[in-house]
Amino acid sequence: MILISQVSLISLVLTGLSVVLVHSPARWAPQAVPPSLGPGTLLSILRESNPFEEPTLNPENIPCREEPIGLGIPGFQPGIHQDSVFRMFGFPSQTLPGYWPNTHAVSYELIPHQVSLGFLFDRQSLLLQQTEASFAQTVNTEIILGTLNSMLGCQLNEEITSGFQQVWQGQVRRYQFALGHLKGAIEWEIRSTSSGAQQAARVYIGIWQAGLHR
């Protein structure tokens, strides 16, 4: 998922990276969709799906693995090495210093105006410390939940799914959770252009190592 605000200074996940994502050149990774769904087909699904209707994709068609192999819209869990992300998406168009010491941030506009991904790595170990994604309202919820499950290392449960649905349906603006050594947040964000004009809201998901935000 993202704004320059007090919250964004607390976490690049919660706001900062999305500003980078707005200006980053589009870089489509063909391997990031199922072999049976080419990029054009997936874009069509994303654009034509009504997020409040029954999903058009069966989540069983997007199997979860602890390290994604390119099905659906891949999400990477904290602890994955930077090389795994680069192998999937290629080198990012921008790399920035992270908010926390000894970290750097990279981002991808995976599908322009639809799906953005961001990653915060430890500079020495190059291990992923924080992973995030933002989705336009037109994206199918089963696709989003598949990515969220991947970001959690295939540990998505009913409680977190329910929290996501509460945010998606506008019942709450923000949902926070903890799962083992991971913490996370799901919220609506209003994206802004460089001129200050507001764009359509996106749902933002951030997952990080429990000890990172100190």
- Asked if 46 contacts 140 with a C-beta cutoff of 8 angstroms, the reply is yes
CA–CA distance, 160 with 103 (Å, rounded to integer)? 27
- Residue 33: what pLDDT? 37
- Residue 214: what pLDDT? 72
- Residue 50: what pLDDT? 43
Q: How many CA atoms lie within 13 A of 24 on its CB side?
A: 27
109-119 burial by CB neighbour count: b if 16+ within 10 A, else e?
A: bbbebbbbbbb
- Could you give the 3-state DSSP secondary structure of residue 9? helix
- Asked if 120 contacts 104 with a C-beta cutoff of 8 angstroms, the reply is yes
Q: Helix, strand, coil proportions of the chain in percent (round to 5)?
A: 30, 30, 40
10-residue mean pLDDT series, the chain (214 residues): 30 36 31 38 45 43 66 87 93 83 91 92 95 94 93 94 96 95 92 60 94 80
- Residue 196: what pLDDT? 59
- Residue 174: what pLDDT? 95
